[in-house]
């Protein structure tokens, strides 16, 4: 059970990381034209 739990946790963490990365990229795209990338990067 423990090993299965660890695997599930790792998958969830990986999915979370990928989601955040995609979300971050989308936000950068939105603001690219406004030249606010530095502002966004400092927020994160």
- pLDDT tens-digit profile of 1-44? 567 778 888 988 998 898 888 888 888 787 775 665 566 666 65
pTM for this predicted structure: 0.47
Q: Residue 29: how many CB atoms within 10 A of its CB?
A: 9
Task: Assign residue 35 a region (left: φ > 0; alpha: ψ between -120 and 50; beta: otherwise).
Answer: left
Can you give the residue ranges of every domain in the chain?
14-44
């Amino acid at each position: 059970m423990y090993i299965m739990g660890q695997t599930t946790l790792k998958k969830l963490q990986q999915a979370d990381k990928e989601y955040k990365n995609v979300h971050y990229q989308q936000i950068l795209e939105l603001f690219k034209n406004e030249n606010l990338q530095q502002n966004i990067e400092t927020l994160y």
